Amino acid sequence: MSKERVELGKKVTVSGDFGLEKAGVIVEITLKGKDQIDTLRVTTSSHGNYSTDYEPGSKGDWSVLAKVKSDGLIYEGASSEAVKLKVVNPTLTTTLIRLPAVLADRAGGFMKPPYLYGVIGLVCVVGGGVVFYIRRRE
């Protein structure tokens, strides 16, 4: 695990080593949160390691467990110990950085014609009114 603590909305890297240098072994990663259980499947590289990114969907304590099923011939099944992950509220800096994207996402419907023409017109009228007011005060 790349971190033991991550902010909600950010990704964490889940990685490990199978121990056997064999490519293509399927590793099943189970992530359990308070209200959510997700399962990821990733394959090992030629060195037997694996890595994937995950974005937790809720805050709180999460448990991460990796398992490999036996192929019945070359390797036995294996399971890691559970690793704890704490998902916390975003910091003020993260919230401020995400604000433009959130606003653009919520206003996305107004950024397409015909609403876009109305938004442009409204901005022009307000901008013209501000310029007129400033010029009038001079």
- Name the average pLDDT for the chain: 87
Query: Longest Cα pair distance anywhere in the chain, in angstroms?
Result: 88
Percentage of residues in the chain having pLDDT higher than 70: 98
- Residue 6 above 80 pLDDT? yes
Higher pLDDT, 128 or 65: 65
- Residue 18 above 90 pLDDT? no
Tell me the per-residue pLDDT of 47-69, one tens digit each, with 9 for 90 and over: 999 999 999 999 999 999 999 99
In one-letter notation, the amino acid at residue 132 is F
CATH no. of 5-90: 2.60.40.10
- Residue 1 above 70 pLDDT? no
Higher pLDDT, 36 or 103: 36
Pure H helices in the chain = 92-106, 115-137
- Residue 138 above 90 pLDDT? no
- Residue 12 above 90 pLDDT? yes
- pTM reported for the whole predicted model: 0.65
How many residues can be counted in the chain? Answer: 138
The burial of 110, by beta-carbon neighbours within 10 Å (0-12 exposed, 13-18 middle, 19 or more buried), is given as exposed
In whole angstroms, give the CA distance from residue 98 to residue 81.
35
Report domain extents, the chain: 5-90, 93-137
